[in-house]
């Protein structure tokens, strides 16, 4: 029983560590660490991945990127936005402040956003 508990514990730790992935942008493959992502913005069939120092433009659906970001640190706030909850500076009414960007929270996703953060 102890061995099974230990194996399950190790498996949970391995699953919680976000893995880096590559996206294609301008005929280059760019390695992205999920911890470096501030937010992701959809624009039709393309997405802008906003990092601290740069913005990466790639052909990808938001749904496909959500699968790659299968981590408890990311939540969808709007049909066009996914945010890294660790990068949130402020939440006010129906918006989130990340860096200097105000991102709206739609009524559809508001409950998920509030459930994702720790409120005292």
Question: Which strands sit side by side in the sheet containing 101-104, from one edge to the other?
Answer: 88-92, 95-98, 101-104
Length of the chain counted residue by residue: 120
Q: What is the pTM of this model?
A: 0.80
Looking at residue 106, its pLDDT comes to 94
* 14 DSSP β-pair partners: none
Q: Which helix (H) or strand (E) holds 105?
A: none
Looking at residue 69, its pLDDT comes to 83
- 94, containing H or E segment: none
pLDDT tens digits, 8-65: 776 555 555 567 889 999 899 999 999 899 999 999 889 999 998 899 999 988 988 8
> What CATH number did the domain enclosing 75 receive?
2.40.50.1020
Q: How many domains does the chain have?
A: 1
Q: What is the pLDDT of residue 93?
A: 84
Q: What are phi and psi of 68, to 5 degrees?
A: -70, -35
Q: What is the pLDDT of residue 4?
A: 75
Residue 40 parent element (H or E): strand 37-43
| Distance from C-alpha of 99 to C-alpha of 70, rounded to nearest angstrom | 23
Domain residues for the domain of 23 are 2-116
> Span 66-90, mean pLDDT?
89
């Amino acid at each position: 029983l102890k061995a099974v508990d230990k194996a399950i514990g190790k498996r949970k730790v391995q699953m919680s560590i976000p893995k880096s992935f590559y996206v294609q942008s301008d005929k280059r493959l760019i390695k992205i660490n999920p911890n470096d992502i501030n937010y992701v913005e959809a624009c039709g069939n393309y997405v802008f991945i906003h990092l601290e120092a740069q913005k990466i433009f790639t052909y990808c659906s938001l749904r496909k990127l959500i699968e790659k970001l299968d981590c408890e640190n990311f939540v969808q706030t709007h049909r066009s936005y996914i945010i890294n909850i660790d990068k949130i500076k402020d939440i006010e009414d129906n918006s989130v402040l990340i860096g200097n960007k105000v991102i709206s929270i739609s009524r559809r996703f508001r409950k998920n956003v509030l459930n994702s953060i720790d409120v005292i």
